[in-house]
Amino acid sequence: MNGSPTLLAWASSAMSGLLSVALAYGAENPGGTGKVYSLEEVSVFDYTGPARSELQSGQPTTDCGDAPAEGVAYPAFQSKKPIYGTVLFDLSLFDPRAGLRYYFAIDESAGAGYDRLYFDVNHDSDLTNDAAVGLAKDPPAGLGNMPGSVLFENLRVNLDYGPGHGVFAQTVMPRLMKSGENAYVFFTAPTARKGKIQLGSQEVELVLGQVHTITGRYDGPMTGAFLTGTEEAPPFLGYWRFMNGTFHRLSATPAGDKVTVAPYAGPFGVLETGTGGRNMAPPTIEFGWISSRDAFLDIGDCSRKDGKLSLPVGDYRPFRMAVRYGQRRLGLSVDTAQLGRNDAPVVFPLTIRQDKPFVLDFSEKPEVVFKNPPAGNRLKTGQMVSVEATLCDVRTGTMIAALEDTTKKTGSTKLPNGRDLDMFESVAPAVKITNSSGQTVAEGSMPFG
């Protein structure tokens, strides 16, 4: 068996992409006074800095296929194979239930390529009362000639966050990309915000953009935030940057014209691991990131003494966390498939308090959750079926997304933040199919993810 870079891929996915919230459920108010800086609006197509490709790519949706969504009214299509899709704007790692779901469909008006977009701009699940959107007549350089890519005219979407939260208008550039039978649609916000800020002793350029998700606003922790001149990995506004021995919190106005940089001056608590009653040394947290309702921290930035981590007081959950225990290294991860669902667990189980250490002992045994085939599924011979199962702590919405055998080192590499990482063989889940007599008819391994 060859070594697998499972854990590295798992860790790196934190960077690829994958709100204003109540501080009572998040990290402690930083308390320190902040300094306010002005940001200017820039076109993502005129911007030439290192975040250019992320800003231009926009929010992707892979939720495209040949099946219409239930309960949605569609216009009559010319195409024999219209593309049906859904995009979740305001998707958030920080607020698992956040999200504004929009339906769309793409037609071939002349039977010679996809050239008509129907998007539920007025958000009433009825695409028959939305104007058809044609191809972009004057696409920006770089987007107009991408192979397999079709750019549509800009859309203006009003994102309604409900009473008391406001409506935020946002222009997006929809782009269809076909790869074989698969279709992907990207939504790019054509403008971003840019300016210079002081972070610790360093002056850096900050760019805010709606790269992970379209929100129409810049004040949420999920807002893309790119700093030049720093070797940081997670480009979130909610990521607390650690400079000169201090965490710095960035916050922005909804319009993104002002950003405040405030050093954290609040209390700290302790996160440690416990045995959970097992007759072994406690697990070791190797690296990772944790998030609260409004903050995102790199564990590597937190001071560590005798295996105990010092963290700002708050309620967190593992976003990505690599833990070594005996002969296994496991990758804990938020179950991102649940994001945006009304029933997604909103649990931040790592309760860091100033007066009492939080002990992470892995005493709750996870369970195997099948995502495919669905329960009650009836199949016919000759039909394709994929088996997808994950190992989950259903209560907290956390899953074990990687398992490695630490006795089988395959090499080493560097994490996106520059730290060294040993690589080990992946311990892939085993799958076996038995008939009603208990006889095995098929077996094999199933990749993670």
Partner 1 sequence: VPDDLKLSGNEETFTITATFDTGELYGTVKGQREVVIGR
Contacting residues toward partner 1, per CB under 8 A: 278, 280, 283, 325-328, 330, 362, 365-370, 373, 375, 377-385, 387, 389, 391, 400, 403, 405, 427, 429-437, 441, 446
Considering beta carbons, is residue 169 or 280 the nearer one to partner 1? 280
Name which of 265 and 387 has its Cβ closer to partner 1: 387
- Closest approach, Cβ 359 to partner 1, in A, equals 16
User: Least distance to partner 1 from the beta carbon of 225, Å?
Assistant: 35
Q: Tell the smallest beta-carbon distance from residue 433 to partner 1 (Å).
A: 5
- Residue 279 or 412 having the CB closest to partner 1: 279
d(Cα 2, Cα 239) in Å, to the nearest integer? 35
266 contacts: CB under 8 Å, gap ≥ 6: 27, 28, 29, 30, 31, 32, 312, 313
**Which residues are paired to 34 by β-bridges?**
none
Least Cβ distance, residue 368 to partner 1 (angstroms): 2
CB of 366 to partner 1, least distance (A): 6
Provide CB contacts within 8 A for 390, sequence distance 6+.
335, 368, 369, 371, 399, 400, 401
Output DSSP code: residue 338: G
Cβ distance to partner 1 smaller for residue 263 or 283 = 283
The smaller minimum CB distance to partner 1, of residues 73 and 431, is found at 431
C-beta closer to partner 1: residue 346 or 391:
391
With tokens 């997304």, the residue in question is 401
Query: With contact defined as beta carbons under 8 Å apart, do 285 and 228 qualify?
Result: no
On whether the CB atoms of residues 1 and 406 are closer than 8 A, the answer is no
Q: How far is CA 268 from the centre of its chain?
A: 27
Q: How many of the other CB atoms lie within 10 Å of CB of 270?
A: 17
Quote the CA–CA distance of 407 and 397 in Å, as a whole number: 29
Smallest gap from residue 6 Cβ to partner 1 (A): 13
The Cα diameter of the chain in Å comes to 71
Indicate the residue among 179 and 435 with the shorter CB distance to partner 1: 435
Nearer residue to partner 1 within complex by CB, 50 or 373: 373
Least Å distance, CB 176 to partner 1, is: 32
CA atoms within 13 A on the CB side of 129: 7
Least distance in angstroms from the C-beta of 438 to partner 1 = 8
User: Cβ(259)–Cβ(195) under 8 Å?
Assistant: yes
Instruction: For residue 151, count CB atoms less than 10 angstroms from its CB and return exposed for 0-12, middle for 13-18, buried for 19 or more.
Output: buried
CB of 147 to partner 1, least distance (A): 36
Q: Which is nearer to partner 1, 4 or 292 (CB)?
A: 4
Please name which of 174, 214, 205 lies closest in space to residue 42, comparing C-alpha atoms: 205
Question: ∠ at Cα 444 (439, 448), nearest 5°?
Answer: 135
Alpha carbons 188 and 296: distance in angstroms, whole number: 24
Taking residue 413's Cβ as centre, other Cβ atoms within 10 Å add up to 12
Structure tokens at 433: 């199919």
Q: For partner 1, which is the closer residue by CB, 113 or 444?
A: 444
Neighbouring residues of 337: CB distance < 8 A, sequence distance ≥ 6: 371
Quick one: 255 or 385, whose CB is closer to partner 1? 385
How far apart are CB 168 and partner 1 at their closest, in Å? 42
Verify cis geometry, omega within 30 degrees of 0, for the bond prior to 373: yes
CB of 248 to partner 1, least distance (A): 36
Alpha-carbon distance 78 to 143, whole Å? 26
